[in-house]
Amino acid sequence: MARPREFDTKEAIASICDQFWSDGYEATGIADLESATGLARARLYSAFGSKQGMLYEAIDFYLESRINVIFSRVDDGGIAGVANFFRTFAQIVAEHPERAEMGCLVVNSMIEFGRSEPELVERADRYRERVRGAFRSALERDAAEGRLAGNVESLADLAYVMLMGLYVTVKGGAPLEEINRLCGIAIEVVESWQVEAR
């Protein structure tokens, strides 16, 4: 019932998200957020309260929006969907290295802050649940038809762990051939879960 915002909050958050995602929290200054959003610092602070608040909202956005893009091909693809996810991962590293280097916003934040901030720990929990959930729901289809060797939970966990390992390795600047090798192994592991329907 007063003057309305002139900018779209969601758009701003999206830009802030990408900024934190590519440079990390500590390494991005308010000035960077200003140029990423095109908004003066006072506007950012009046909308989000603090730099930490901006990170929280950025991660929430990542968790409810960006992550869907990443896992879109997995959700109902069965074992093949999971394997294809890792194939796509390798492909992105090869074709869009600057994108791949960004890794995952949540993983990056987890490592920057550790468990020092409960707000982040809780979001990290949600993240892991989301990732494993994607793998789980993909595997459940094959499991229901008796084509999965092993139980869904454990295999989804394993896929999750391997993905985290890959994120770290890519961020660390490992050579392309090494990434390809590791992805190949992950794919082999995933495909070894396939068994003749009985």
Partner DNA sequence: TATGTTGTTTACCAATCGGTAAAATTATGT
Partner DNA sequence: ACATAATTTTACCGATTGGTAAACAACATA
Task: Select from its own copies, DNA, none the partner in contact with residue 164, using the beta carbon and a kind-dependent cut-off of 5 to 8 Å.
Answer: its own copies
| 111 touches 132 (CB < 8 A) | no
**Residue 11, interface with DNA (CB under 7 A)?**
no
Q: How far is it, in rounded angstroms, from Cα 86 to Cα 166? A: 10
| 115 touches 121 (CB < 8 A) | yes
Task: Select from its own copies, DNA, none the partner in contact with residue 125, using the beta carbon and a kind-dependent cut-off of 5 to 8 Å.
Answer: its own copies
What length does the chain have? Answer: 198
Nearest CB to DNA, comparing residues 5 and 96: 5
Q: How far is it, in rounded angstroms, from Cα 11 to Cα 81? A: 31
In the structure, how many helices (H) and strands (E) does the chain have? 11, 0
**Residue 6, interface with its own copies (CB under 8 A)?**
no
Q: Identify any residues that bridge with 148 across adjacent strands, giving them in sequence order.
A: 194
Smallest separation (angstroms) from DNA to the CB of 108: 16
**Residue 35, interface with DNA (CB under 7 A)?**
no
Tokens for 119, please give them: 């707000």
Task: Select from DNA, its own copies, none the partner in contact with residue 52, using the beta carbon and a kind-dependent cut-off of 5 to 8 Å.
Answer: DNA
Q: Please pick, from the candidates 46, 65, 72, 192, the single residue that binds DNA as defined by CB under 7 A.
A: 46
Q: How far is it, in rounded angstroms, from Cα 65 to Cα 62? A: 5
Smallest separation (angstroms) from its own copies to the CB of 158: 6
Binding residues for its own copies, per CB under 8 A? 24, 26-27, 101, 103, 106-108, 110-112, 114-115, 120-121, 124-125, 127-128, 154, 157-158, 160-169, 171-175, 178, 181-182, 185-186, 188-189
